[in-house]
C-alpha cells in the first residue's frame, strides 16, 4: 500500500467516474457530491465542453515554460480575470494551488512595501479562525490549530485577529449593538505591533475549513477596509473557496462592495479539471514593482502552463455563459431553507449559515447552551462517514468553540445542481443526521 492516504490506514472507496453532480466508485456505488469535493468541482464532473478543450490544448501543446514563451490561454485568462475582478485589480500571477496563491499574495505584499521604500513592513496579520493553505507561508497565516501545531516553531505568530463569528462572538457581544467590534480588533493588533511593521491583512470573505462557512455581518468588511487604508496595510482577500460564482457573485467581496489589493484564487478557477490557482494584484501594487526591480520574486515550474490555463479559461467562460453566479444566488436560499428545516428537526444542528451555494452546519451537544461536543467524540468525522454511507459527500470543517476545535460540516454542491438534486441532497443529509444521532 505505498500510497500515503489522508489516514494511513483509512479505508477509502476507489473512484471510477463522475457524471454531473454524482461520483461512482469501483463497486458501482453512486454518491451525490454535496461539497464539490473540497468545494472545488463547481461545474460538476466530466463536463464534455471542458474535456474537449483539455484534449484540444493537450494535442497542441500541454507545457511550455514561462521564461521561454508566453501562451495564448494564459494571456486570455488573465485578460478575462482583469475584466471580472473588482476595482484596481488588474494583474494575474498563475500558480497551481490555493496555498501557493495565498503565499504569493503574502510575498507580493512584502515585496511591494520594500520597493515602495518601506522594508520594515513585513508582518501579515490574519484571523484566529482561518485557513489559507498548507505550505509554510500559507500555514503561517492560518488560524487552524490542528494543521499548525506540529510546525509551530517554523511559523509566524500573527493569526491573531478575532473572527466575525456571531454565533459564538469572541468578544461576548451581539450584532448590531456590537458595532462590529471584531473588525476593530484589527486596529488593536496593528497598534500593538506598530503600523510601520504591518504589510497586509489576509482574510477569507467566508471562513471555510476553519469555521464552517462563517459569513461576517454587514459593516464588517467596510470597517476592515477603512482600517487598512488608515494604517497603510494591504488587504488580501483569500477567495480560494469563494470565487467564480460560489457565493452568488463572481468574487465574494462584491457582496460588501469592498475592493481588496490582492486576491487569491484556486478551487473554482479550474473547477477541479486541472490544478490551477492565481494571485491577482492591483495595478498600483504591480506598477510600483514594475518601476523598481521589474520582477515578482516568485514562480513555479508549472506557473501559467498552457494546458491548465486553457482549462481555467474554459471553466470561467462556462460560469459566465451559464450565469452560474446568479444560479448560486437563486438556489442558495432554497438550500438554506432546507438546511434550516434540518436544524428544526435535529437538535445537534446548532447553527446554519452560508451564502450562495456555500453553507455550513455547526454541530453541538446542546442547542440551547451551544455546548460543543468533546473533541474525542469525533462528531464531524462520524457525520461525514454516515453521509458517505448514505451516498452523500459533505466536507468536514472546524467551528469556533475552543479556538477551532468544534464540529461543523460544509455543504457546497456544484453550481450546476438542479432543484431535484438539491431535494435529494436534503433528504440524504436528513437521513445522515438521524443515523449519527442514533449512535450518540
Ligand X SMILES: Cc1ncc(COP(=O)(O)O)c(C=O)c1O
Q: Does 409 contact ligand X by CB under 6 A?
A: no
Q: Which among 234, 233, 237 has a CA at the least distance from the CA of 195?
A: 233
Q: Do 409 and 397 touch, CB atoms closer than 8 A?
A: yes
Q: Considering beta carbons, is residue 251 or 373 the nearer one to ligand X? A: 251
Single out the residue of 133, 164, 245, 354 in contact with ligand X (rule: CB under 6 A).
Answer: 133
Residues 47-106 that bind ligand X (CB under 6 A): 97-99, 102
Cell numbers 482583469: residue:
82
Between 208 and 245, CB nearer to ligand X? 208
Which residue's CB is nearer to ligand X, number 361 or number 433? 361
* Site for ligand X contains 137 (CB under 6 A): no
How far is it, in rounded angstroms, from Cα 245 to Cα 325? Answer: 4
**For 96-246, where are the E strands, in sequence order?**
123-127, 159-161, 198-203, 234-238
209 near ligand X (CB under 6 A): yes
Single out the segment in contact with ligand X by CB under 6 A; choices: 132-140, 338-346, 403-411, 421-429: 132-140
Backbone φ, ψ for residue 39 (5° rounding): 55, 50
Q: Which stretch binds ligand X (CB under 6 A): 87-95, 177-185, 202-210, 309-317?
A: 202-210
Identify which of residues 237 and 436 has a Cβ nearer to ligand X in the complex. Answer: 237
Given 20, 38, 341, 347, the residue binding ligand X (CB under 6 A): 38
Number of residues interacting with ligand X: please give it, by CB under 6 A.
16
Residue 358 as a binder of ligand X (CB under 6 A): the answer is no
Rounded least distance, CB 59 to ligand X, Å:
27
Which of 204, 259, 261, 421 forms a contact with ligand X (CB under 6 A)? 204
CB contact at 8 A, 86 and 259: yes
Q: How far is the CB of 95 from ligand X (least distance, A)?
A: 9
Helices in 194-305 by DSSP H: which ranges? Answer: 220-231, 283-291
Q: Does 241 bind ligand X (CB under 6 A)?
A: yes
Cβ of residue 268: shortest distance to ligand X, in angstroms?
11
Classify 216 as helix, strand or coil: coil
Q: Rounded to an integer, what distance in angstroms lies between the CA atom of residue 53 and that of residue 405?
A: 42
Query: Is there binding between residue 208 and ligand X (CB under 6 A)?
Result: yes
What is the C-alpha separation between 275 and 105, in angstroms, rounded? Answer: 18
Q: Using CA atoms, how far apart are residues 86 and 89, in angstroms rounded to an integer?
A: 6
Q: How many CB atoms lie within 10 A of CB 374?
A: 12
Please give the Cα distance from 192 to 284 (Å, whole number): 28
Residue of the chain from 238, 261, 351, 421 that contacts ligand X (CB under 6 A): 238
Residue ranges in contact with ligand X by CB under 6 A: 38, 97-99, 102, 131-134, 204, 208-209, 238, 240-241, 266
Amino acid at each position: 500500500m505505498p500510497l500515503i492516504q489522508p489516514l494511513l490506514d483509512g479505508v477509502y472507496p476507489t473512484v471510477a467516474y463522475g457524471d454531473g453532480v454524482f461520483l461512482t466508485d469501483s463497486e458501482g456505488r453512486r454518491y451525490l457530491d454535496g461539497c464539490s469535493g473540497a468545494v472545488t468541482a463547481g461545474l460538476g464532473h466530466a463536463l464534455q465542453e471542458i474535456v474537449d478543450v483539455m484534449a484540444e490544448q493537450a494535442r497542441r501543446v500541454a507545457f511550455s515554460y514561462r521564461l521561454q514563451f508566453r501562451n495564448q490561454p494564459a494571456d486570455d485568462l488573465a485578460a478575462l480575470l482583469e475584466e471580472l475582478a473588482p476595482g484596481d485589480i488588474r494583474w494575474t500571477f498563475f500558480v497551481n494551488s490555493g496555498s501557493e496563491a495565498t503565499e504569493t499574495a503574502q510575498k507580493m505584499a512584502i515585496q511591494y512595501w520594500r520597493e515602495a521604500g518601506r522594508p520594515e513592513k513585513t508582518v501579515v496579520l490574519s484571523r484566529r479562525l482561518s485557513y489559507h493553505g498548507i505550505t509554510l507561508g500559507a500555514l503561517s497565516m492560518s488560524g487552524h490549530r490542528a494543521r499548525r501545531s506540529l510546525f509551530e516553531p517554523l511559523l509566524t505568530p500573527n493569526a491573531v485577529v478575532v473572527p466575525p463569528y456571531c454565533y459564538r462572538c469572541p468578544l461576548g457581544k451581539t450584532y448590531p449593538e456590537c458595532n462590529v467590534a471584531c473588525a476593530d480588533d484589527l486596529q488593536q493588533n496593528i497598534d500593538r505591533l506598530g503600523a510601520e511593521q504591518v504589510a497586509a491583512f489576509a482574510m477569507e470573505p467566508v471562513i471555510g475549513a476553519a469555521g464552517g462557512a462563517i459569513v461576517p455581518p454587514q459593516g464588517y468588511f467596510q470597517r476592515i477596509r477603512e482600517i487598512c487604508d488608515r494604517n497603510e496595510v494591504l488587504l488580501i482577500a483569500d477567495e480560494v473557496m469563494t470565487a467564480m460564482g460560489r457565493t452568488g457573485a463572481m468574487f465574494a467581496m462584491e457582496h460588501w462592495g469592498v475592493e481588496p489589493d490582492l486576491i487569491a484564487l484556486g478551487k473554482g478557477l479550474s473547477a477541479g479539471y486541472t490544478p490551477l490557482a492565481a494571485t491577482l494584484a492591483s495595478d498600483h501594487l504591480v506598477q510600483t514593482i514594475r518601476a523598481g526591480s521589474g520582477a515578482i520574486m516568485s514562480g513555479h515550474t508549472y506557473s501559467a502552463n498552457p494546458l491548465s490555463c486553457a482549462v481555467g479559461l474554459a471553466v470561467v467562460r462556462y460560469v459566465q455563459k451559464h450565469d452560474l453566479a446568479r444560479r448560486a444566488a437563486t438556489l442558495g436560499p432554497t438550500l438554506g431553507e432546507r438546511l434550516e428545516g434540518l436544524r428544526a428537526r435535529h437538535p445537534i444542528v446548532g447553527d446554519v449559515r452560508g451564502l450562495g451555494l456555500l453553507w455550513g452546519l455547526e454541530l453541538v451537544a446542546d442547542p440551547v447552551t451551544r455546548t460543543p461536543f468533546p473533541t474525542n467524540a469525533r462528531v464531524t468525522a462520524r457525520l461525514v462517514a454516515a453521509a458517505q454511507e448514505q451516498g452523500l459527500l459533505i466536507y468536514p470543517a472546524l467551528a469556533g468553540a475552543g479556538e477551532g476545535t468544534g464540529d461543523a460540516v460544509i455543504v457546497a454542491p456544484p453550481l450546476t445542481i438542479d432543484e431535484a438534486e438539491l431535494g435529494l441532497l436534503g433528504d440524504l443529509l436528513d437521513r445522515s443526521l438521524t443515523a449519527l444521532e442514533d449512535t450518540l
